[in-house]
Chains A and B, each alone.
Chain A
Amino acid sequence: MTISLVAFVILLVMVFARVPIAFAMVVVGGVGFALLRGWGPAGAMVGNAVFETGLNYSLSVVPLFIFMGNVLAGSGIARGLFSAADRVFGRMRGGLAMATVLSCGGFSAVCGSSLATAATMAKVTMPSMRRFGYSDSLATGAIAAGGTLGILIPPSVVLIIFGLLTEADIGKLFLAGIIPGILGIIGYLLAVMVAVRLKPELAPRVRDVHPMTRRDAVSVTAVLALFVFIMGGIYGGFFTPIEAAGMGAAAALLIALATGGLSRGALWTAFLDSATASAMIFAIIIGAEIFSNFVTFAGLPDSLSDLVENLGLSPWVVLMVIVAIYMVLGCFLESLSMILLTVPVFYPLVSNLDFGLASLESPDAVLIWFAIIVVVVTEISLITPPIGMNVFVLRSVLPDVSLGTIFRGVYIFWMADIVRLALIIALPVLSLYLVT
């Protein structure tokens, strides 16, 4: 246990010294493995991890779901979603921010990544909110928070990776994310209402910002159709969740070409962004694999299980401790690395606990519920300082807004997330209703 903790500290120091997190994990994991086991075996282990991660069939969803989102992002569909959502809330104070939240939720239904959702929606919603005098903090807060829904509302790259780590049914994980995702939208909408009630100067009252055009209606229909195509294809038994990524990408390409919203330059960018983002994600997966092999070897999962057993803690206390650990890690770790590093450690622990979920008649109920809890804490980590990836993405899309401004705007959404997390923990049925 001590060795693992020391390794974690060294990892954090390297990360803060600007070593890319993927390579920092390789260095700490590889050297640690070598010290315990010898350099020859460590080298072979590293080589295997690099070569075999690329050959992992199920990970083909990573480039394909990302490509699907990028194609739609480049095709102007996000703008249509925003206009339509604006029709719903247009007359209320803070209506544009609420429309932002809702359209983020809509885009999440066709995009597997939170970062892509936040970046895409920022480009569409930020100019309007600025033009009508919204404060930068509320505007960016709504985008950063709304963007996190990308990994909870299916399709989701993170849920798929959770499924791979635990051999859970990915189809069920996708279904389980829907209600908590809708809950997230409602929570964020309420957060906007509360924010503008407390500080009316955050958002002026405006009306009819975007007249709804035919093009907008087409966009909304296209997103709905694509979501139905993907989920219907999976649950109707036409293709597996893995194949859904390839089918969804093809359908998105067809939609974009048919509606004529995708320029050649935008298509090229979608390809390039998807390729580079995939390599970035795979580098992290490789690093996490090497690091977690070392941690497993050093005996961390075993000692944690022993610890829990010896302390005789109740299942709920164990769960609360795990959630607390996630909240702390979520401050410092990048989301994907966090999941890759922690799930193999915590999942065996949680799967042996009895929460009395047997009544829900699903053998993997605990696992699915835990997956949703993990995704929600991961969403929270995306907007928690100092390392909140969604906030960083917004910074890159909106270079003139300071990190401080974004984090100031995010806190009210963060509180909505805490309430949602409490609900999801207290009421497992929220995650499991659609599954059983």
Chain B
Amino acid sequence: AEELIMSSWLPPKHPIVVNAFEPWAKEVEKVTDGRVTVRIMGKPLGSPPAHFDMARDGIADITYGLHSFTEDDRFQRARLGQFSFLGDDAIANSKAYWKIYGGELDAAGEHEGTHLLGLFMHGPGLLHNNVRKIEKPEDMQGLKIRVPGGYVGDLVSALGATPLFMSSTEVYEKLSRGVIDGVAFTYEAMTAFNLVDYIKYSMTVPGGIYNTTWFFVINEDKWNSLSEEDRAAIDAISGEAFAERVGQAWNDADIAAKKKIGDKVDFYQASPAVVSALRGVASKLEQSWSDSLGDGYDGAAALAEFRGMTGVEVK
């Protein structure tokens, strides 16, 4: 059998490792009648930001990671899935992302050197903090918020807060010591990083304040070395089917986290005033992203189509 090596940097017990990548790996063996197997390494073969290049360069065969970790302009069109108000259901988000970014926005062109196995997003991103409930836009002033980079950073800073960058494993240290006041994270990350005791208020808006986009790729040469039959079999359980699988894993993780947190944190919907302030900033950022894509790509239309698919209305 041909053994594919997959490098995984999330903790081995992370919900999407256990409920999406591992089952997918088993399924690969099944649908190829054992001709292709996937071995997930117990320890990553490089840092999380290196994981795209690791698949491209063949250090590992298969990797996954966040587009925003890569510190250059390679994944410009990938930002489609990182804006506000995109959708509350990780399955619908991931399917729309796979269809639109993978389709008319030519994701394959931005992932040169690899073959796409999946493109996905998680559930809605929230804004957590331990200082005050954000009732009006001015309440954002002066808060120090950890952001994953990119769009959320611009958003938070346009609203008057200070965005700070650090690795997600640093968040616990910094939040518990008051170095930061809050963090842009999902429900799931609150429990995964033990933050519940250090967060008081979590604000959400319909469709999420932000989202992160992920790639799941295999080295192109390795991919082409597989038989046509095996490639077809693997493709059939990847792409949209994987979007469904991983979306389900994110949704389940969010539900489990919400249950575990209970009423220890005050979850609240943003007030109309805050939502409209967010919209004002968001639409400017969306427009400048759309303008930056150049000829042949219509970012604004892609966003509209995305929201059509996930059922989010933006007035």
Residues on A facing B (Cβ under 8 Å): 37-38, 40-41, 44-45, 48-49, 52, 57, 167, 169-171, 237-242, 292-293, 296-297, 301-302, 344, 348
Do B58 and A38 touch (CB < 8 A)? yes
Q: Which of the 9-residue segments B43-51, B92-100, B147-155, B200-208 touches chain A?
A: B43-51
Q: Which residue of A has the minimal Cβ distance to B194?
A: A363
Do B46 and A48 touch (CB < 8 A)? yes
Do B176 and A48 touch (CB < 8 A)? no
Do B177 and A238 touch (CB < 8 A)? yes
Interface size on B (CB < 8 Å)? 26
Q: Which residue of B has the minimal Cβ distance to A239?
A: B177
Name the B residues within 8 Å of A293 (CB-CB): 43, 45-46
Name the B residues within 8 Å of A48 (CB-CB): 46-47, 50, 53-54, 59
Tell me, in angstroms, the Cα distance from A431 to B50 when the chains sit together. 36
Do B46 and A296 touch (CB < 8 A)? no
Q: Which of the 9-residue segments B119-127, B167-175, B281-289 touches chain A?
A: B167-175
Known contacts A167-B169, A238-B177, A239-B177; A52/B54 CB under 8 A: no
- Shortest CB-to-CB span from A23 to chain B, Å, is 20
Do A41 and B46 touch (CB < 8 A)? no
Which of A52, A240, A241, A302 contacts B46 (CB under 8 A)?
Answer: A52
Do B41 and A296 touch (CB < 8 A)? yes
Name the A residues within 8 Å of B169 (CB-CB): 167
Name the A residues within 8 Å of B25 (CB-CB): none
Instruction: Say yes or no for B5: interface residue by CB 8 A criterion.
Output: yes
Which of A38, A45, A171, A348 contacts B45 (CB under 8 A)?
Answer: A45
Do B42 and A301 touch (CB < 8 A)? yes
Do A40 and B58 touch (CB < 8 A)? yes
Tell me, in angstroms, the Cα distance from A49 to B172 when the chains sit together. 26
Residues on B facing A (Cβ under 8 Å): 5, 11-12, 41-43, 45-47, 50, 53-54, 57-59, 166-167, 169-170, 172-174, 176-179
Which of B42, B58, B172 contacts A348 (CB under 8 A)?
Answer: B42
Known contacts A52-B47, A296-B43; A41/B167 CB under 8 A: no
Do A301 and B43 touch (CB < 8 A)? yes
- Shortest CB-to-CB span from B262 to chain A, Å, is 18
Do A302 and B42 touch (CB < 8 A)? yes
Name the B residues within 8 Å of A240 (CB-CB): 170, 173-174, 177, 179
Q: Which residue of B has the minimal Cβ distance to A56?
A: B47
- Shortest CB-to-CB span from A38 to chain B, Å, is 7
- Shortest CB-to-CB span from A79 to chain B, Å, is 35
Tell me, in angstroms, the Cα distance from A242 to B11 when the chains sit together. 22
Name the B residues within 8 Å of A167 (CB-CB): 11, 169
Name the A residues within 8 Å of B58 (CB-CB): 37-38, 40-41, 44
Do B5 and A297 touch (CB < 8 A)? yes
- Shortest CB-to-CB span from B195 to chain A, Å, is 13
Sample of 14 more A-B contacts, CB < 8 Å, known A41-B57, A41-B58, A48-B54: A37-B5, A44-B57, A45-B54, A57-B170, A167-B169, A169-B173, A237-B177, A240-B174, A292-B43, A296-B41, A297-B5, A297-B41, A301-B42, A301-B43
What are 13 A-to-B residue pairs whose CB atoms are below 8 Å?
A37-B5, A37-B58, A44-B53, A48-B47, A48-B59, A167-B169, A169-B172, A169-B173, A170-B173, A171-B173, A239-B177, A240-B170, A292-B43
Tell me, in angstroms, the Cα distance from A344 to B178 when the chains sit together. 31
Known contacts A52-B46, A57-B167, A296-B43; A44/B177 CB under 8 A: no
Name the A residues within 8 Å of B47 (CB-CB): 48, 52
Tell me, in angstroms, the Cα distance from A307 to B173 when the chains sit together. 36
Tell me, in angstroms, the Cα distance from A44 to B57 when the chains sit together. 7
Do A237 and B43 touch (CB < 8 A)? no
- Shortest CB-to-CB span from B84 to chain A, Å, is 29
Known contacts A52-B47, A348-B42; A45/B59 CB under 8 A: yes
Do B179 and A44 touch (CB < 8 A)? no
Known contacts A44-B57, A48-B50; A297/B45 CB under 8 A: yes
- Shortest CB-to-CB span from A304 to chain B, Å, is 10
Do A237 and B176 touch (CB < 8 A)? yes
Name the A residues within 8 Å of B42 (CB-CB): 296, 301-302, 348
